[in-house]
Chain A
Amino acid sequence: MSGNSDDYEAAQKSPASETVAAFSERKGALARLQHALHVNPALIPLFVLVTSIVLFGLLLGTKFFSPFALTLILQQVQIVGIVAAAQSLVILTAGIDLSVGAIAVLSSVVMGQFTFRYGLPVEVAVTAGLIFGTLIGSMNGWLIAVMKLPPFIVTLGMWQIVLAANFLYSKNATIRSQDIEQQAPLLQFLGTTFKIGADVDGRGGATFTFGVIAMVLIFAVLSYILSQTAWGRHIYAVGDDPEAAQLSGVNVKRTLISVYAVTGFICAIAGWALIGRIGSVSPTSGQLLNIESITAVVIGGISLFGGRGSIMGPLFGALIVGVFTLGLRLAGADAQWTFLLIGALIIGAVAVDQWIRKVSA
């Protein structure tokens, strides 16, 4: 202080105010880490992802640490990744969606059956599948927002209804890859692959599919929407405290319905990508997508209690599962080790979430 009480500029630069700005540093490194994680919840899954890639890379060498193997992981997680993006939106509102996998599968079956059973143009069939997924999602949202039923119960019921409808409607019949390729290649569009750096025979190199690109795009778009648009901020607000959100002018019902509708739409895209990945339209696919997507979201650091977490986290979460699965497989470990480690990661992720939560308490 200069001693002149009128010198406001000097007062601004005073050591006192600097101390206030540096307040959190006094708490030590652990607290700073806690704060950093509070601000960037995707840091931990990113760290785990990079560490596991490095570890498996050291352990397995080029067999794992090659463009081919690393992009293979992307291909293997693309469906779970897309569904996890959808699941994240719901979990951010403090909800949960158990019907995601069933919506994805039924949407793919609708796309296939509309083309092959009714002979509709494939563009119409794909659009119908996407609309169908959106409608089921909206129905979930309406039951939750307007009828005030718990998300867990609504989507548990919808899961069973949609899955049963899937088997009844498809008559359990698979539409073969070869028929789709000949008559309706658009259904397999998201399975289209392109390579970078392959040898002359087209082997090795980084291999991408349009489904992988779609997954990355979905995460990028959602990341923008969640951080830059009013709707995105409303989702966080509703998940954190719906009453406070309502009082501050957020239309909670409309936000919830739209979130579940968008979730249904994204799941339908996952269904489309599923046809690309497995070639055929098979009503028995995707049975575990609900659990796998929740796993990716939790490992990705989005709080199951709603309102907190970064959308990029679940992408890392899905990739961590993919890295573990392929890495352990290449290392010759029994498949059960993968489940064991994933289970430990889930519990660890929730523990970290609770710990970070203390910073805001």
Chain B
Amino acid sequence: MKKLLIGTALAAITTAGSVMADGHAVSACLITKTDTNPFFVKMREGAEAAAAEAGITLRSYAGQVDGDHETQVAAIETCILDGASGILLTASDTSSIVGAVTQARDAGLLVIALDTPLDPIDAADATFATDNFLAGELIGQWAAAQLGDDAANARIALLDLAVSQPTVGVLRDQGFLQGFGIDLADPNVNGDEDDPRIVGNDVTAGNEEGGRKAMENLLAVDPSTNVVYTINEPAAAGAYEALKSIGRENDVLIVSVDGGCPGVQNIADGVIGATAQQYPLQMAALGIQAIASFAADGTLPENTEGKDFFDTGVALVTDQPADGVESISVAEGMALCWG
């Protein structure tokens, strides 16, 4: 069976080469972590729109759950067989996927990591992503500026993504702490800081349920918590419910990252103080354009100057601008939001 598969793969790769040489229709693959997260749903919509515009056939694949590495590898193999020109990939397992990605690149496909950098980052031809550290830094600076002198006595709860500390969760958390003016200890690890202002870290799985429970836990540790960093807006909404149940929803500052439409609306409603908005539609559209130009003349995408990836931008959304921190209004954020 395995031999048969490899044989078929080789045959398909050779035909794929000849298909490209003949200049037939270009096709691309989009492989996301799940089909269920609005962020990836929007990413797919962005890719579909850009593909239709560029006359590219797009096939989309997704893992069944976040962390479903197996399905993503199978999807890469299918794309190679299918003779695609390139793959846009949001990897669930950033280091284990490298083998499959190398296979695809060896077969002549352009592989672009979207949103989540691979480990190592140069395992992909390019990375189109939000600068997650910068996203965290913006909300950290904003929170510190809002508190003013009280920042020295802040009681900070950190609501992270998962126990396994995926890169995106670490970058945002550490960016926030840096922005707030806290010594990071090891910038690659969450929770090793010894600043007395930190109440503690807990994990949320990035949803409302986890956000509420994590907030309750940290409130039990220290009921005087007054600054809450959250990995994303659903977690922030859950944290807000926990604060509301003890009547503290108005005297705690919640900051977040993502910029989904419900999240931005939550800023207008005073649930979240500020969020750092990222642009999944843009990531996908730029990715498709890169595959189109690679298919046309072999052009490889370039990185943003001074970074090892292409930065798709991030903006702080808030209606209470702070001095020295650049931000856009909720109205502007609504116009750019997704989900």
Contacts and interface: CB of A to CB of B under 8 A. Distances in A.
Interface residues of B, number: 35
A282 B209 contact: yes
A203 interface: yes
A334 B192 CA distance: 12
Contact of A335 (B203, B246, B265): B203
Given A172-B36, A172-B41, A335-B163, A280 B221 contact: no
Contact of A76 (B203, B216, B221, B262): B216
Interface in B296-322: none
Interface string B221-238: 101000000000010011
Given A176-B265, A277-B212, A283 B36 contact: yes
B323 to A, nearest CB: 29
B202 interface: yes
Contacts of B37: 172, 284
B213 A76 contact: yes
Chain B binding site: helix, strand, loop or mixed by DSSP?
A: helix
A89 to B, nearest CB: 24
A171 B266 CA distance: 20
A176 B203 CA distance: 21
Contacts of A167: 35-36
Interface in B182-241: 200, 202-203, 207-209, 212-213, 216-217, 220-221, 223, 234, 237-238, 240-241
A334 to B, nearest CB: 8
Given A329-B220, A330-B221, A172 B38 contact: yes
Contact of B262 (A75, A174, A332): A174
B38 A278 contact: no
5 closest A-B pairs by beta carbon, nearest first, are: A278-B208, A279-B241, A329-B217, A285-B209, A202-B247
Contacts of A336: 163
B223 A203 contact: yes
Contacts of B213: 76
Contact of B247 (A72, A201, A326): A201
User: What range describes how many residues of A lie at the interface?
Assistant: 35 or more
A192 to B, nearest CB: 10
A258 interface: no
A193 interface: yes
Contact of B240 (A177, A277, A326): A177
Interface in A155-213: 167, 171-174, 176-178, 191, 193, 201-203, 207
A187 to B, nearest CB: 13
Contacts of A76: 213, 216
A277 B220 contact: no
Nearest to A64: B220
A193 B163 contact: no
A284 B240 CA distance: 18
B153 interface: no
Contact of B220 (A63, A274, A282, A334): A63
Nearest to B207: A284
A278 B220 contact: no
Nearest to B219: A72
A150 to B, nearest CB: 23
A37 interface: no
Given A176-B262, A176-B266, A335-B163, A280 B237 contact: yes
B271 interface: yes
B7 interface: no
Interface in B238-261: 238, 240-241, 244-247
Contact of A177 (B36, B237, B247): B237
